[in-house]
Amino acid sequence: MGYYQMNEKLAIEYLVEHGVFDSATGLTAKEVGDGNLNLVFIVKDEATENSVVLKQALPYVRVVGESWPLSIERTIVEANALEIYNNLTPNYVPKLIHRNDQLSLIVMEDLSHLELMRYGMIKMQKYPSFPEHASTFLADTLFYTSDMYLSSEEKKKLVAKFINIELCKITEDLIFTDPYHDADTNNINPRLRPYLEEVFWKKTDLWREVSKLKYKFMTEAQSLIHGDLHTGSIFAGENETKIFDAEFAFMGPAAFDVGKIIGNIFINYISWSGKDEDPERIKDYRSYLLETVIRLHRFFERKFIENWKKDALNISARAEGYRDDFMNNLFTDTIGFCGAVMIRRTHGLAQNLDVTGIEDLQKRRDVQVKLLELGEKLIMNRHSFNNLEEVTNLIKENI
């Protein structure tokens, strides 16, 4: 059957027809999508409280509308990635229950008992298990889909499987290009515009370095990366972490996922400068955030190296000193991508509520300038940092 757009009633009918629920009696459905691209329905059996989530791609960009068409094949990518994640790291992703590539939909485990990490962090929520969980997700997905583990043939098949033309192009444009000139897609705080025009868009050295990061993103088919690993793609609770929304997945630079999540945490850190909140609470939350980032990254490196030592099948992995070089490059790229994400979220198309929630446009502007300045420092100095503590110290000194 060809594509048709789901609504609440059709979603219920579909799930009954495909055996996810026995009958429509007592089922309720609610559209809850707050993302940029897709429809998301929670369908629940009110009697048993069993529920699932049905996510369907729309043939256009949801936040923009029908004027920006987008092919619906991205759900095939998300389903393919979720299948791999369900195998590699089932504890940290939603369970994939059903897929329908013609209708461009997936049915998955309902995670609405958890809160989006982005919303929690705006309320200073702490997530004690997050570094442990997210580092395992990163180390396992990035190592076991790389050439260090897979055969040359398996790896190339994976590259072919994850051709994600349109969503990669979105990242190439929205993260690595448009923020560096006066592009139509940008979404600019009017109070920030003078700084962009007089200062930021004149930084030719920065654009040059970002172009190198963009080229890495376009050419370095290293590992299966999630591709959109911001705090709005993570559900978190006290003892649970679930990473979802993998439609941007493709074989790309491993550092992109690591840098993107760290960058989003730095955005939250910096956002507090524009908020009326008890300074002691801010201080406490900020030290929690930096500790989180340090632990996440330390655990990630440790687990990635453990995987390497235990399971690297590629004989080159044994070349003396090679792993250290590999990890050093990964770190440098992580800091670069982290900086690019901080910059993109200040005036690019999709922004973070952490910052847009600051209603006073002048205060928001001041936070945005800090983000731009720090993002730039990270990118420009990415080769000079020896470890993440040096990066978090820089952030601390400047905020």
Rg (CA), the chain: 21
CA end-to-end span of the chain: 55
Cβ contact 22:16 at 8 Å: yes
Tell me if 34 contacts ligand ADP by CB under 6 A.
Answer: yes
Chain residue whose CB lies nearest Mg ion: 35
**Token reading at 164:** 């994600």
Number of residues that bind Mg ion (CB under 5 A): 5
Residue with smaller CB distance to Mg ion, 37 or 142: 37
Binding mask 53-72 for ligand ADP (x = CB under 6 A): x-x-----------------
Tell me if 224 contacts ligand ADP by CB under 6 A.
Answer: no
Tell me if 237 contacts ligand ADP by CB under 6 A.
Answer: no
Tell me if 245 contacts Mg ion by CB under 5 A.
Answer: yes
**Token reading at 131:** 């570094």
Tell me if 247 contacts ligand ADP by CB under 6 A.
Answer: yes
Nearest CA to 63 out of 35, 44, 88, 26 is that of: 35
Tell me if 232 contacts Mg ion by CB under 5 A.
Answer: yes
Instruction: Pick the piece of the chain touching ligand ADP (CB under 6 A) from 19-27, 29-37, 360-368, 385-393.
Output: 29-37
Pick from 88, 116, 210, 254 the residue near ligand ADP by CB under 6 A: 116
Chain residue whose CB lies nearest ligand ADP: 35
DSSP 8-state code for residue 151: -
d(CA 86, CA 105): 17
Nearest CA to 234 out of 318, 81, 127, 377 is that of: 127
Tell me if 40 contacts ligand ADP by CB under 6 A.
Answer: yes
CB count within 10 Å of CB 207 equals 17
Instruction: Pick the piece of the chain touching ligand ADP (CB under 6 A) from 31-39, 216-224, 307-315, 344-352.
Output: 31-39
Query: How would DSSP label each residue in 270-330?
Result: HHGGGS---HHHHHHHHHHHHHHHHHHHHHHHHHHHHHHHHH--SGGGGSTTHHHHHHHHH
d(CA 132, CA 206): 34
When CB distances are held under 5 to 8 angstroms depending on the partner's kind, the choice from Mg ion, ligand ADP, none that residue 55 binds is: ligand ADP
Tell me if 35 contacts Mg ion by CB under 5 A.
Answer: yes
Number of residues that bind ligand ADP (CB under 6 A): 21
* Nearest distance, CB of residue 90 and Mg ion, angstroms: 21
Residue with smaller CB distance to ligand ADP, 116 or 170: 116
Look at residue 63 and give its three-state secondary structure: coil
The two counts, helices (H) then strands (E), for the chain are 14, 12
Cβ contact 57:102 at 8 Å: no
Tell me if 354 contacts ligand ADP by CB under 6 A.
Answer: no
Instruction: Pick the piece of the chain touching Mg ion (CB under 5 A) from 42-50, 146-154, 237-245, 323-331.
Output: 237-245
DSSP 8-state code for residue 223: E
CA angle 44/47/53 to nearest 5° reads 10
Binding mask 127-166 for ligand ADP (x = CB under 6 A): ----------------------------------------
Binding mask 76-105 for ligand ADP (x = CB under 6 A): ------------------x-----------
- The amino acid that residue 337 corresponds to is F
Cβ contact 240:274 at 8 Å: no
When CB distances are held under 5 to 8 angstroms depending on the partner's kind, the choice from Mg ion, ligand ADP, none that residue 261 binds is: none
User: Binding residues for Mg ion, per CB under 5 A?
Assistant: 35, 37, 232, 245, 247
User: Binding residues for ligand ADP, per CB under 6 A?
Assistant: 32-38, 40, 53, 55, 94, 108-112, 116, 232, 244-245, 247
